[in-house]
Amino acid sequence: MPRKKKIVLVAGARPNFMKIAPLMRELKNQGSFNPILVHTGQHYDDKMSSLFFRQLGIPAPDINLEVGSASHAVQTARIMERFEKVCLDIKPDAVLVVGDVNSTAACVLTASKMNIKTIHYEAGLRSFDRRMPEEINRVVTDAICDYFFTTSADADQNLVNEGKDPQQIFMCGNLMIDSLVANLEKIETTSAEVKLISNQMINPLGEFGAGNYGLVTLHRPSNVDEAPVLGEIMKALDSASELIPMVFPAHPRTIDRIDTFGMKRLIDRGSDLLFSFPLGYIEFMALLKNARFLITDSGGIQEETTWLNIPCLTLRKNTERPVTLTMGSNKLIDPEDVKPEIERILSGKGKSGQIPPNWDGKAAGRIIDVLIKVL
Ligand code: UD1
């Protein structure tokens, strides 16, 4: 019997885990490959990493590079140095990376120089804004990968515009939606209790009821790293919370900046803008599924709201996921639009949309069918 091909899957940061979970599950069930999971350790807190592994049923990583937090250059370099040793040791037939985080670009750069076949899931997304570190990661990754799995037709077109052969590109659908579909029952039955940073416990579903609260997530450096910008956003959110309570599970970066910029009184004073530490996948999705709207600067959540058909107000000038604007329930807004947009939603005029093609919970199976053919 021929030996099973070794495929290394790379996971590094929180948004990677929902994409890796269905792929690992399907690879293990399908049995054609020998999948090896490498965690770079870019995210390491229980709430940012292990909790997601447990909730999504991802097997423990075979190898953890334990790189931790550092500047972009140091983190990327550490991942490359340690991943090179892994590749020398394991000699994989292919390396598959997902998303657009530092771990994605670092591992592709390492593997492709070692003449290992490289595959990018979520290829071709472009914000065309190089001030975003993720855009640099996307461009670098796609410049050198061998095979591209995409989530939407605009991504295929971007890759073709950049000179890729259409034969290398496969629009197999959206793995985040695979995770969402696979976990719907758990999401629908969880109590979604939330511990606020102020230590108070609340159950937004019980206390406010479905559709009677908003949800907020913010962590992009462009929104949270400068005091005047974060201050303007916080003021807008605080004022809008007079209309409807809003739950704000805050990323460690955002909590840190709120503290540093002397805005902690917003957290402490217990208004209707309710700050919590990061939530697990199931709890967050349960809150999202029942929220009246979401305000965010995340990439993945723009897709999840589109699938759930919940109005999404994205506090950014651009998005690498335009299908969520053209087909879905997403809208780009500035801080001054927060309150008027919420008023529109509360008066029943929130944006609704459709589900893009192949966002059906079956992307992992299609991806593996392609991998069997091309590897
Ligand atoms: C990273 C990704 C971003 C992704 C986000 C999701 C890059 C360039 N950015 O940004 O695309 O949307 O993850 O969360 O790869 N920290 C902790 N615990 C952790 C990890 C981080 O407390 O487990 C803190 C550290 O203080 C760190 C800060 O959060 O300095 C930022 O983490 P980092 O991984 O550098 O970037 P993110 O903002 O998380």
Residue nearest ligand 1's atom 37 by CA: 253
CA atoms in the 13 A half-sphere facing the CB of 34: 10
- On the question of pLDDT at 44 being above 80, the answer is yes
Query: So what's the pLDDT on residue 264?
Result: 84
Whole-number Å distance, alpha carbon 86 to ligand 1 midpoint, is: 23
Could you give the CA distance from residue 375 to residue 373 in angstroms, rounded to a whole number? 6
Query: So what's the pLDDT on residue 2?
Result: 77
Among 52, 67, 69, the mutation site with the greatest number of ligand 1 atoms within 8 A of its Cβ is 69
**DSSP string computed for 201-257:** EE-HHHHT-TTS-EEEE---HHHHSSHHHHHHHHHHHHHHTTTS-EEEE--HHHHHH
Whole-number Å distance, alpha carbon 233 to ligand 1 midpoint, is: 20
Q: Which of 39, 120, 219, 251 is catalytic?
A: 219
**Residue 72 CA: which ligand 1 atom is closest?**
8
Could you tell me the pLDDT band of residue 271, with boundaries at 50, 70 and 90?
Answer: confident
Whole-number Å distance, alpha carbon 43 to ligand 1 midpoint, is: 6
Could you tell me the pLDDT band of residue 166, with boundaries at 50, 70 and 90?
Answer: very high
Could you tell me the pLDDT band of residue 68, with boundaries at 50, 70 and 90?
Answer: very high
User: Range with the lowest mean pLDDT among 1-15, 78-92, 140-154, 331-345?
Assistant: 1-15
**Residue 220 CA: which ligand 1 atom is closest?**
38
Cα→Cα distances 195→9, 29, 330, Å: 33, 37, 28
**Residue 48 CA: which ligand 1 atom is closest?**
23
Among 100, 101, 217, the mutation site with the greatest number of ligand 1 atoms within 8 A of its Cβ is 101
Query: So what's the pLDDT on residue 267?
Result: 79
Residue nearest ligand 1's atom 35 by CA: 69
- Residue 270 has what DSSP assignment? T
Place of tokens 């990677």: 16
Among 251, 284, 320, the mutation site with the greatest number of ligand 1 atoms within 8 A of its Cβ is 251
Contact 246, 272 (CB under 8 A): yes
- On the question of pLDDT at 76 being above 90, the answer is yes
The SS3 of residue 310 is coil
- On the question of pLDDT at 162 being above 80, the answer is yes
Could you tell me the pLDDT band of residue 268, with boundaries at 50, 70 and 90?
Answer: confident
User: Range with the lowest mean pLDDT among 31-40, 42-51, 195-204, 352-361?
Assistant: 195-204
Could you tell me the pLDDT band of residue 318, with boundaries at 50, 70 and 90?
Answer: very high
- Residue 196 has what DSSP assignment? B
Phi, psi for 282 (deg, rounded to 5): -65, -45
Mean pLDDT across 95-114: 98
Residue nearest ligand 1's atom 16 by CA: 252
- Per the annotation, the verdict on 72 as an active-site residue is no
| Residue 181 CB neighbour total at 10 angstroms | 17
Mean pLDDT across 220-239: 95
Whole-number Å distance, alpha carbon 219 to ligand 1 midpoint, is: 8
Mean pLDDT of the chain: 96
Q: Partners of 260 in the beta sheet?
A: none
Mean pLDDT across 62-69: 98
**Residue 49 CA: which ligand 1 atom is closest?**
23
Mean pLDDT across 219-244: 95
> Residues lining ligand 1, judged by CB closer than 6 Å?
13-15, 42-45, 48-49, 69, 101-102, 133-134, 219, 251-253
Mean pLDDT across 40-59: 97
- On the question of pLDDT at 250 being above 80, the answer is yes
- On the question of pLDDT at 242 being above 80, the answer is yes
Among 253, 296, 304, the mutation site with the greatest number of ligand 1 atoms within 8 A of its Cβ is 253
CA torsion, points 162, 142, 127, 182, in degrees to nearest 10? Answer: 130
**Residue 75 CA: which ligand 1 atom is closest?**
35
Could you tell me the pLDDT band of residue 266, with boundaries at 50, 70 and 90?
Answer: confident
Could you give the CA distance from residue 67 to residue 41 in angstroms, rounded to a whole number? 5
User: Range with the lowest mean pLDDT among 70-74, 125-129, 270-274?
Assistant: 270-274
| Residue 160 CB neighbour total at 10 angstroms | 14
Residue nearest ligand 1's atom 3 by CA: 101
Domains, the chain, ordered by start: 5-174+359-374 (3.40.50.2000), 186-346 (3.40.50.2000)
**Residue 103 CA: which ligand 1 atom is closest?**
15
Could you give the CA distance from residue 245 to residue 286 in angstroms, rounded to a whole number? 16
Query: So what's the pLDDT on residue 164?
Result: 98
